[in-house]
Amino acid sequence: MDTEYDAIVIGGGSAGLSFARQAAGLGRKIALIERAELGGTCVNRGCVPKKMLWTVADALHRGSGLTRAGILGPAPQVDMTRLCAARGDKLESIRQSYRETLKDAGVHLIEDTAGLTAPGEVTISGQRLHAPRIVLATGGHPIKPDMEGAALACDSDEVLNWTTLPRSIAIIGGGYIGCEMAAIHAALGVRVTLVTDTDRVLTEFSENAALVGQRNMEAQGIRLVTSCTPEAVRQAGDGLELVLDAETVLKVDKVVAATGRAPNLGVLGALKDRVALTDKGVVKIDARFETSLPGLHAVGDCADRLPLTPVASSDGETLARQLFGTHRDPVELRHVATTAFVLPPVSEVGQPSPKAIFDEATLSPLSAALRADAPQDYWGLGGSDAAVTSVSLVAEGAHEAIAWAAQMLQHCPDRGSMQRALGVHPSTSEEAMG
């Protein structure tokens, strides 16, 4: 095995893969070390399997509202065996494509567990590899709350590998992961209760957009318990009990902890005290993604950036260019679009200031006239007359539209010009454009 490289990247998720491909394409000798499956969280335990489940849930959700209104016949049933098989096949095909892409790029893929033993030195199975640049792309993992019986709860990794559906679940956590798990499983026919210690769900999004998303979740049949910190999880026969307080206990088949994620930093070993972390426990980096230890860089979910796949991929490519090609600044996080895959999706880009002009509206889409669940849509435009700086959407297709909105905001459109564009009729877009 070669032991000298221009750069060694630890982690084969979105950030690490992006860095390795780009750096190798710039003519550099690159090693990528991955201890588990290529693709990292996104492919194996996150975005991809979630979106496949959401696709089925979305179809069932739309159909069930029409069924309850008497317009469609009985709702179809989910064949979990076929769904899981299709999911497994897709994930394996993605992993294989990554393997082939790395090979074609000339990246040396090492499937092993890495450890940093000195600046510029990585050890695998007793062998030492060296490079002037080491890139941490180790991702993160779900964490469970500090409470009695927390080990009895499933985390998001486990949920996305379920092969059968429980009859009932209680989800702890009202962020986008908890809400997505709630919406998806409710549509799949599971009785869902979501418990959050905040006064509303989806606090990552602006308040009014999140509140519309919350009402849609309640209309879907999800029970929401806000401003509550559960005390314990207990075994109860074949199921579990989630203790909310001295008087309230939820009896369910499964408890799901969606209470945040932490970076994978075990690779730092004896060097951990030389790598500064933020208050959130992720790695501090500068504009060149360099940590407090010279020559050590960090990208992806372990670094102090937005923990989103597009950001990780962009940052990996940007770092490769900064080190070995033409300099490029990191993407500005205010231009990054994000979506919670509830039903319908809640999507947003940009952050309006408190003094911004903000136009918004909540409305009933035409489809609500046919559906018993009557979902609400929402749009919001923030900024000034001279420049729109934020867009918020709650609607079917919002997850697709928000990316185009992000591109539009890069060009700082003035409000008048933007609203002279005509939306498709009948749709929520025409309300925002008008």
Residue 233 has a CB neighbour count (10 Å cut-off) of: 25
DSSP element (H, E) containing 220? none
Distances (CA, A) of 264 to 81, 261, 308, 317, 416: 32, 10, 16, 21, 47
- Beta-carbon contacts of residue 36 (< 8 Å; ≥ 6 apart): 44
378 labelled as ligand-binding? no
- Burial degree of 81 (CB within 10 A; 0-12, 13-18, 19+): exposed
With b meaning 16 or more CB within 10 Å and e meaning fewer, what string describes 14-26? bbbbbbbbbbbbe
Distances (CA, A) of 414 to 105, 387, 420: 43, 4, 10
Concerning whether 425 is annotated as a catalytic residue, the answer is yes
Q: What is the distance between the alpha carbons of residues 213 and 209, in angstroms, rounded to a whole number?
A: 6
Pairing relationship of beta strands 133-136 and 254-257 according to DSSP bridges: unpaired
Q: What is the distance between the alpha carbons of residues 251 and 244, in angstroms, rounded to a whole number?
A: 11
173 labelled as ligand-binding? yes
Q: Evaluate the CA torsion angle 39, 44, 47, 48 in order and state its sign.
A: positive
Identify the CA nearest to 341 among candidates 42, 15, 20, 55: 55
Q: What is the distance between the alpha carbons of residues 427 and 398, in angstroms, rounded to a whole number?
A: 11
Distances (CA, A) of 123 to 107, 109, 129, 309: 18, 15, 6, 28
Identify the CA nearest to 49 among candidates 87, 99, 20, 23: 87
- Write out the two tokens for 202: 């989806």
180 labelled as ligand-binding? yes
DSSP element (H, E) containing 225? strand 223-225
Q: What is the distance between the alpha carbons of residues 123 and 367, in angstroms, rounded to a whole number?
A: 58
Residues in the chain: 434
98 labelled as ligand-binding? no
301 labelled as ligand-binding? yes
175 labelled as ligand-binding? yes
Kindly name the residue from 108, 141, 327, 425 that is annotated as catalytic.
425
5 labelled as ligand-binding? no
Binding residues: 51, 173-180, 260, 301
Binding residues for FAD: 51, 301
Binding residues for NAD(+): 173-180, 260
Residues tagged active-site? 425
